[in-house]
Structure 1
């Protein structure tokens, strides 16, 4: 896939900023969105403010994209530990409705609202890609140890929404690709509290994760739409 213009939501995060830099290094025009409006200061990068928890903010951010939308849109936002320190639940006994709702709002509802406003802008006559960062842990069939209830549920729900959006887009935009991507365990703020027991070699730098994800994206075709793919390009069963 030749990418002329891309948009990255979550450009202020570890993976998001690396994706912006990786795309810019390839000569791609990049729209870099973050809640603060900050992001990498690089040639060919235009920063914009957008809070994906606020639908009006999303609508305003993409309103001027009509007629010249990006070929690639990546939602690189997500949360594992909340700002107040609430982390993944090890048992159902630890479930808290407010924390659960907040994780679903950020990991599931936010990317869905971005899709709601971005997908209608995609042209029908050429290939375009919408990718949301998800996780292998959202695969129900791959679940062996349980726990991390809200995070697992939020990613499983995101994977289902991606499958739904792909089916709907396939009816009107046969060249569009809508996918979820698992970047692996990346050395970012999200994973930092959980890195101590990782096997050697499992932790990936944001730059390497970005390169891996962009390689996967370049190899996607419409038959892949609706799937969850890992950083190697392997499809993960739901």
Structure 2
């Protein structure tokens, strides 16, 4: 039986991933466990208390913008305090989680981190959303570096950055684009994670590679 860990399990995609995974699944979240990805000691304690190893670890933490703020439409709209908070969660928070979760991954385990297509520098044709884009691009670099580092300790493991598509969650409540249901996106992401043969990639929910 597979053992799974979902970090960020109370969000739309995180909760759906808990349901999609077969086997024994543990979820960690702010609302249930008090998980604060900006608190290194707290993350260390919560993850450290878990009995590993895990066959799959899925990280689904992040914010679009702090409460009361929104993604910037122009450079003039950048607020340094808002940008710092977005980076604190989306980049430093992800790095902190990986720092502690990597030790709990099985030697041939699968580690997927929820990121976003808008974090792609090569795919950015619209501009705007500066804090969110930059924080996700930086998170992608952390994920890529983690995958390369873990080759030395987890030779058969796979670590991926994953884009979920536009999913029906509170993040996308005002979007007019066609949306995937969280359960649909989660199952497709899980299929991509399970079927990947190489570590260190950036893929969308359909398994298509995304440029960095």
TM-score (normalizing by structure 1):
0.85
Question: In structure 1, what is the equivalent of residue 81 of structure 2?
Answer: 98
Contact persistence 1:230–1:236 (CA under 8 A): yes
In the alignment, the residues of structure 2 paired with residue 168 and residue 6 of structure 1 have an alpha-carbon distance, to the nearest angstrom, of: 22
Q: What is the DSSP-based 3-state SS (H/G/I as helix, E as strand, rest coil) of the residue aligned with 2:88?
A: helix
Partner SS for 1:203:
coil
**For residues 157 and 230 of structure 1, what CA distance do their matches in structure 2 show?**
17
Q: Which residue, 185, 208, 212 being the options, matches 1:234?
A: 208
Aligned with 1:233: secondary structure?
coil
- The offset of 1:122, in angstroms, is 2.8
- Bigger radius of gyration among the two: 1
- DSSP 3-state at the match of 2:25: strand
2:150 to 152, 169, 191: 169
- The answer on 1:217 being equivalent to 2:193 is yes
TM-score (normalised: structure 2)? 0.95
**Root-mean-square deviation over aligned CA pairs:** 1.4
Quick one: distance in 2 between partners of 1:104 and 1:70? 28
* Distance (Å, rounded) in 1 between the aligned partners of 2:117 and 2:77: 22
- Helix, strand or coil at the partner of 2:54: coil
Displacement, 1:218?
Answer: 1.3
**C-alpha distance in 1 between matches for 2:41 and 2:94:** 14
d(CA) in 2 for partners of 1:35, 1:108: 17
CA distance 1:49–1:7, change in 2 (3 Å): farther
Once residues 169 and 211 of structure 1 are traced to their aligned partners in structure 2, the CA distance between those partners, rounded to angstroms, is 25
How many Å apart are 1:161 and its aligned residue? 0.7
Matching residue within 3, 11, 26 for 1:13: 11
Q: Which sections of structure 1, spanning at least 5 residues, go unmatched? A: 38-47
Determine helix, strand or coil for the equivalent of 2:26: strand
Q: d(CA) in 2 for partners of 1:167 and 1:21?
A: 30
- Cα distance between partner residues in 1 of 2:153 and 2:7: 24
Question: Which residue of 1 is the match for residue 43 of structure 2?
Answer: 58
SS at structure 2 position matched to 1:132: strand
Q: How many residues align?
A: 212
| Residues 191-216 of structure 1: per-residue CA shift (max 9 Å, x gap) | 113x13x2xxx311111111111111
Q: Is the 8 A contact 2:160 2:193 kept in 1?
A: no
In 1, distance between residues paired with 2:188 and 2:106? 26
**Residue 131 of structure 1: SS of its match in structure 2?**
strand
Q: Provide structure 2 residue ranges, at least 5 long, that are not aligned to the other structure.
A: none
CA–CA distance in structure 1, aligned partners of residues 132 and 105 of structure 2: 30
Show CA shifts across 1:21-69 (max 9, x none): 111xx3x1111111121xxxxxxxxxx4422121111111121335x32
